[in-house]
Structure 1
Amino acid sequence: MKIYDISQEVFTSVVFPGDEKPSFVRNSSMEKGDVCNVTILTMCAHNGTHMDAPFHFVREGKTIEELDLYHCVGDCTLKAFEKQPTAEELNEVLKHSRKKVILKGPVTITMELAKCILEYNLELIGVESQSVAPMEAPREVHVELLEKEVVLLEGLKLDEVEEGEYFLVAAPLKLGGSDGAPVRAILLDK
């Protein structure tokens, strides 16, 4: 069995424009004579590889610890695109896919693609970009998907993974009350 780590390293990760870059302070250091090393982290819940909770865009939506973990773990289809897919191209992929789908390449989920995703009752959609939605208008697509509790897995690192069928493990950190959380996402060969 091969394991693919499809997560960004946090401190060198891509940061959404306007978000604070992740950083850390070594609170205790064995090098300075302390009994152990202790690190304090500062970061946005949406840095690097992360998951959006409905509460990110839906006022009464679930927070990250309330998500159904069955949507974050299980059989998954990874499909690669060279360019932005049309609704027809995505529909063709979704007809033959699992309920968890990861899209590799320069893919942005438009409202037209969001409707395709909902038509096939997907549990999770994953992308390489820091946001599934277009940068210039992120709200509409996020609301459309998050209101239906489609898990949004963003900021994936897929350069070493071929399209195909995998087993996905992408549980978010259990940050009570948060609108999102970092994820250490992995794919397992089936």
Structure 2
Amino acid sequence: MIIDTNSLQIYDISMAITPSMAVYKGKDFKRPIISLDSDFSTGSSYESRLEFNLHTGTHLDTPLHMIPQGYTLEKIKLDRVVTKCKVLDLTDVKEKITDKDLAKFSIEEGDFILLKTRNSYEDILENNFVYLHKSGANYLVKQNIKGVGIDALGIERDQADHETHISLFNADIMILEGLRLKDIEEGEYLLSAAPILIPGAEAAPVRAYLIKSK
């Protein structure tokens, strides 16, 4: 969704949370459950309940996700996830993003990088999605970036020992997953990807959007 104002364009890059949405590996137990606590037939108000895995849809991972002593959500300062970012067009990549793919771009220290792939166009989110290979993760670590996001439900797919996640976490790089980038052109934007504040959690849902001046 794109919102136009007099001076800004706002691009919603989040997944909608629904019972039928795509989830990691298509595992049914990961699908959200939305139920009613009360409606106007049982009371004076309408209230709903949502039950879902914290890695559902558009979400931010913290190091505890893969590292036993990793820090959790409340440790993240908002200026790390409300920040300038660069969208890189990698829609020509067939399976995995490597260091060679990333070396084609201007990536600088402190950047927050969003990886736009064919995941945003094709029905492959649950299986066989394009992911960030460990060589690509190591390349981003060397560039000393702030964070990386991808239009997949996982930044890696079935990699042994979770090398991509762990390489990024050990370098204190933010990981944002489940983006929708189909309508986003390559370039620079202001990213807002603040997670819901759940102290002690290893992840949390995000309403992510991009802002660009006209």
TM-score scaled by length of structure 1: 0.92
Across the aligned residues of Structure 1 and Structure 2, the Cα RMSD in angstroms comes to 1.8
Question: Where does residue 15 of structure 1 map in the other structure?
Answer: 23
Contact 1:124 1:151 (8 Å CA) reproduced: yes
Instruction: Return closer, same or farther for 1:138/1:189 CA change in 2, 3 Å cut-off.
Output: farther
Structure 1 position 68, deviation (Å): 2.6
Question: Where does residue 138 of structure 2 map in the other structure?
Answer: 115
Cα deviation code 1:164-185 (max 9, x no counterpart)? 1100000011111111010000
User: What amino acid is aligned across from residue 70 of structure 2 in structure 1?
Assistant: G
User: Alignment partner of 1:10: what SS?
Assistant: coil
Structure 1 position 23, deviation (Å): 1.2
Cα deviation code 1:98-141 (max 9, x no counterpart)? 61110100442111111111111111101011111132436111
Instruction: Return closer, same or farther for 1:167/1:24 CA change in 2, 3 Å cut-off.
Output: same
Question: Where does residue 135 of structure 1 map in the other structure?
Answer: 158
> What CA distance in whole angstroms lies between the structure 2 residues aligned with 1:116 and 1:22?
35
Cα deviation code 1:68-120 (max 9, x no counterpart)? 32210111100111214441330231436861110100442111111111111
Further displaced range: 82-91 or 165-174: 82-91
Instruction: Return closer, same or farther for 1:149/1:96 CA change in 2, 3 Å cut-off.
Output: closer
Moved over 3 A (4+): 94-98
Residue 82 (structure 2) aligned to one of 70, 73, 80 = 73
Question: Where does residue 165 of structure 1 map in the other structure?
Answer: 188
> What CA distance in whole angstroms lies between the structure 2 residues aligned with 1:129 and 1:105?
9
> What CA distance in whole angstroms lies between the structure 2 residues aligned with 1:14 and 1:65?
27
Structure 1 position 52, deviation (Å): 0.5
User: Alignment partner of 2:67: what SS?
Assistant: coil
User: What amino acid is aligned across from residue 198 of structure 2 in structure 1?
Assistant: L
Contact 2:89 2:117 (8 Å CA) reproduced: yes
Question: Percent identity between the aligned chains?
Answer: 29
Residue 153 (structure 1) aligned to one of 173, 176, 183 = 176
In the alignment, is residue 38 of structure 1 matched against residue 61 of structure 2?
A: no
User: Alignment partner of 1:35: what SS?
Assistant: coil
Structure 1, unmatched stretches of 5+, are: none
Contact 1:76 1:98 (8 Å CA) reproduced: no
> What CA distance in whole angstroms lies between the structure 1 residues aligned with 2:144 and 2:109?
11
Question: Where does residue 61 of structure 1 map in the other structure?
Answer: 70
TM-score scaled by length of structure 2: 0.82
> What CA distance in whole angstroms lies between the structure 2 residues aligned with 1:22 and 1:121?
35
> What CA distance in whole angstroms lies between the structure 1 residues aligned with 2:158 and 2:78?
28
User: Alignment partner of 2:105: what SS?
Assistant: helix
> What CA distance in whole angstroms lies between the structure 2 residues aligned with 1:100 and 1:69?
13
User: What amino acid is aligned across from residue 121 of structure 1 in structure 2?
Assistant: N
